[in-house]
Structure 1
């Protein structure tokens, strides 16, 4: 059973465009992030998550982004196992994000 929710990039962008302050973590690698990020997102590569999860602000919702949705899914499972609540995978990742 999944321990996290999902949201489409379109749904997330709508909420950002409405001015909602959202807690977004980008788990892609440095070279991927260099090509662009969602404004306001925090970058923590997936491989660094076990050492850096304490940098993540505990908010009612936590949105996780990667390139296509696979790594963010693993990050969601991991963060949920640590007790983070409201963890949400951004389906399709940056490949589906329209800036």
Structure 2
């Protein structure tokens, strides 16, 4: 099962996920043009950006032992990537519900909405 984590609850999820020893990270699966439009500022977490369609070919770049929270625009693509990662044996995976749009509304209004 994929955890659904709101942007507001992400710090608590990251803290609980790091209890296992491996440092969690946020995986932004949006396209480069979307990243130029709006991006989150890492605050207590590592941010890795790999577009959704590149994930299978770049899977070896990701550590399956590290907890990962996936992020996209509204939460649909990141949910699919989270399910894929879980199927590939990633230990702990979450979807950031509502994506960067919810991030702007709930956590950081300086992030542009698009």
Q: For the residues of structure 1 that align with 2:95 and 2:85, how far apart are their CA atoms? A: 11
**Partner residue of 2:32?**
30
**Partner residue of 1:64?**
70
Q: For the residues of structure 2 that align with 1:27 and 1:33, how far apart are their CA atoms? A: 9
Gaps of 5+ in 1: none
Deviations along 1:40-78, whole A, 9 cap, x unmatched? Answer: 411000000010111113345210000000000100111
Per the normalisation by structure 1, the TM-score is 0.83
In angstroms, what is the RMSD of aligned CA positions? 1.9
Alignment: residue pair count: 94
Q: Which runs of 4+ in 1 moved over 6 A?
A: none
Greater C-alpha radius of gyration: 2
Q: Structure 1 residue 10 and structure 2 residue 12: aligned?
A: no
Q: For the residues of structure 2 that align with 1:51 and 1:13, how far apart are their CA atoms? A: 29
CA contact (8 A) 2:27 2:47 kept: yes
Gaps of 5+ in 2: 109-114
